[in-house]
Amino acid sequence: MGFFTDTSVCIGCKACEVACKEWNAVPEDGLELTGMSYDNTQGLSADTWRHVAFIEQRKPVGNAEAGERGDLRWLMASDVCKHCTHAACLDVCPTGALFRTEFGTVVVQEDVCNGCGYCVPACPYGVIDQRKEDGRVWKCTLCYDRIGAGQEPACAKACPTDSIQYGPLDELRERAAARVETLHEIGVDDARLYGDDPDDGVGGDGAFFLLLDEPEVYGLPPDPVVTTRDLPAMWRHAGVAAAALLGGLAAVFAAHGRTGGRR
């Protein structure tokens, strides 16, 4: 199960942010204007699990000519934890506070988290964050309690335009591909999917997006890679080195023993 966020129909109402905070009892986080259009929550953090970005561009919309309908457009996008298929945060957590649910999502157990912070730099999207009060990490749970009871996540429920859609990932990918095709037919050539490829650097995201520009414009990495991808090779090399060292020590002790016997 997962999210498909169609940014082409996002109206920037922030209903998803409010619903997320209310349902999950996420603390208020300042609400200070950032200077980035009407954005007042800055980005994803321990106290912002859904973040609606407002990106102003001097660029005509779709196939309109410059100046025909004004050159200013807003790209609005509701960002969230990607719930990676290959989740580095799971690999580095020493306490098991992070776990994979039966729905394929990644959840933090706050009562198990010890605040070590290893998962923070491990996330290729910079999603996971620690609260200053106790150092524990917090992020989107994809409303684990709601979906376990057969309900959709609070953000998807509150979205008035169905920009945020919840359901089986296979169905969402088919729907997303059809949506991109429709946009291309009406002249929105910049429409593309992000995070829907199971063969990408994180094995595909459990929350993927339809974007209207390059990922970097939205603050997303263009080619995310699970940060722990080299761990198996590193352990293998370490094992070979340790075996070689033990072999060398054994040879030294054996040689020393033979010399001592001749004396």
Q: Is 155 annotated as contributing to ligand binding? A: yes
Q: Is 16 annotated as contributing to ligand binding? A: yes
Q: Is 18 annotated as contributing to ligand binding? A: no
Q: Is 208 annotated as contributing to ligand binding? A: no
Q: Is 23 annotated as contributing to ligand binding? A: no
Q: Which of 29, 23, 33 is nearest to 44 (CA)?
A: 29
Report the alpha-carbon angle 112-144-165, nearest 5.
140
Q: Is 261 annotated as contributing to ligand binding? A: no
Q: Is 130 annotated as contributing to ligand binding? A: no
Count Cβ atoms below 10 Å from residue 230 Cβ, excluding itself. 11
Q: Is 28 annotated as contributing to ligand binding? A: no
The two beta strands, 2-6 and 207-211, are: parallel
Q: Is 13 annotated as contributing to ligand binding? A: yes
List the beta strands (DSSP E) in the chain. Answer: 2-6, 51-58, 72-79, 98-100, 106-108, 129-130, 137-138, 164-167, 192-194, 207-211
Q: Is 93 annotated as contributing to ligand binding? A: yes
Q: Is 113 annotated as contributing to ligand binding? A: yes
Q: Is 194 annotated as contributing to ligand binding? A: no
* Cα dihedral value 91, 97, 99, 102, nearest 10: 170
Q: Is 119 annotated as contributing to ligand binding? A: yes
Count CA atoms within 13 Å of residue 61 on its CB side. Answer: 10
Q: Is 143 annotated as contributing to ligand binding? A: yes
Binding-site residue set: 10, 13, 16, 20, 81, 84, 89, 93, 113, 116, 119, 123, 140, 143, 155, 159
Q: Which residues are annotated as a binding site for [4Fe-4S] cluster?
A: 10, 13, 16, 20, 81, 84, 89, 93, 113, 116, 119, 123, 140, 143, 155, 159
